[in-house]
Structures are given as structure tokens and as C-alpha cells.
Structure 1
Amino acid sequence: AGIRPGDTTFHAFGLSLWLAGVTYVQALEAYGARPVALGAEAGVPKILRYIEFTRPTALFATPSMVNQLIERAPKEIGKPVAALGIKRVLCAGEPGAGLPA
């Protein structure tokens, strides 16, 4: 997916012990990436602030979380998500990632 050792990634999936949770974080660490594992449980405002602070190049999240971040960023942090430096969005967990809209 284009993740390289040393890349900062942001984990906005739920932090469960199952497939998209802690196992993703552990795999990224083993690969040499630097995952920021805040998790969906933190809520959109906190996730946006942490993304702004940590400047990840990749975001791991469900399509609905990505939509929430896009819609709420201007109000929550005063800028669009596009201004945060994310180059890759990796989605799973629900339908929607393949829809052009």
C-alpha cells in the first residue's frame, strides 16, 4: 500500500484485538512504520487534532470515518483534511471505499 519504514501512519479504526485493531498497529510497528494508534473511540474532534499534530502520511480508517473527518475538519480545526499531509487512505471494515463519491 506504499507504506515505508519510518512513515508515520494514523490508526483511526477501533482499537479492538481483532483484524483492524491492535493487529494492524503491531504489523506496522514490526514493519518499521510509526503508527499513531488513537483509535476511533477517541472521536472525530480529537482524531483531527492528533492528525494535525502528528502529520501522518497514511490514514487507516473505515469509509464512514473518512467521510466524517472530511466533513468536520473545517469546523473542528479550521482547515480541510487535504491540508493535513495525508497521502494514502487505507479503508476496510465496511462498504464504500470503492465508490467514487
Structure 2
Amino acid sequence: MSGHKISVSGLSIECHEAPDADCRKRPNCEPEEWDTAGCRDHSGEHKLTTGHDCWLSEWVNGSGLEDSYYDFDKYPITPTPNAPVELINEHPDAVLWKYEEIPNA
């Protein structure tokens, strides 16, 4: 099961992943751009470190749940509070979300 879910208010995504999860890894500097190798903004060793805030949920919450829903034509009128979600980082300029598919549910 995902460590991300819709908040109780239904207005944002919360992260409950472990401190060493990929979504909590980033450089210790404040770069404009970075990837899995580290910071690309300036010279020096700025490798990814763990324990940061979740950058995936920050991105979704910054653009809003409605604007970042995976299937925007079928956006739910009211997001389901506490529902587990999957965050999708397939596009270079966006992180999208959708409800996590629960087997045999």
C-alpha cells in the first residue's frame, strides 16, 4: 500500500512514507533542478540525502488536487478523505495523482 493518502480535509495529499523513501530524498542545498544523481544547479558534491519533506506531495499540493488528478476528465467532485493514492511522476513538468487500486476490493 502506498504511503500517500488524501488528507482528512480532502484538500491535499499527505505523505506517510519512511524517511529513506525516494520521495523524501533530495540534495541538502536549495536547487532549481536536481535528479537522482543530485543537484545540477552549481558545482560541487550535492548528492541526495534522506529525511526531507516529500517532494511529490509538495508538487501535487502546490498545483492543487483538481489540477493534478491523473484522469482530469473524471475528477471526483469530492476527493475521498484518507483514501490511499498513487503519485505519478511521468511528466517532466508535473506530478499527478490517482486513487490506489486495492486488489480484491
TM-score band, normalised by shorter chain: under 0.3
Look at both structures and tell me which one has the larger radius of gyration over its CA atoms: 2
The structure with the largest strand share of the pair is 2
- TM-score w.r.t. the length of structure 2 is 0.23
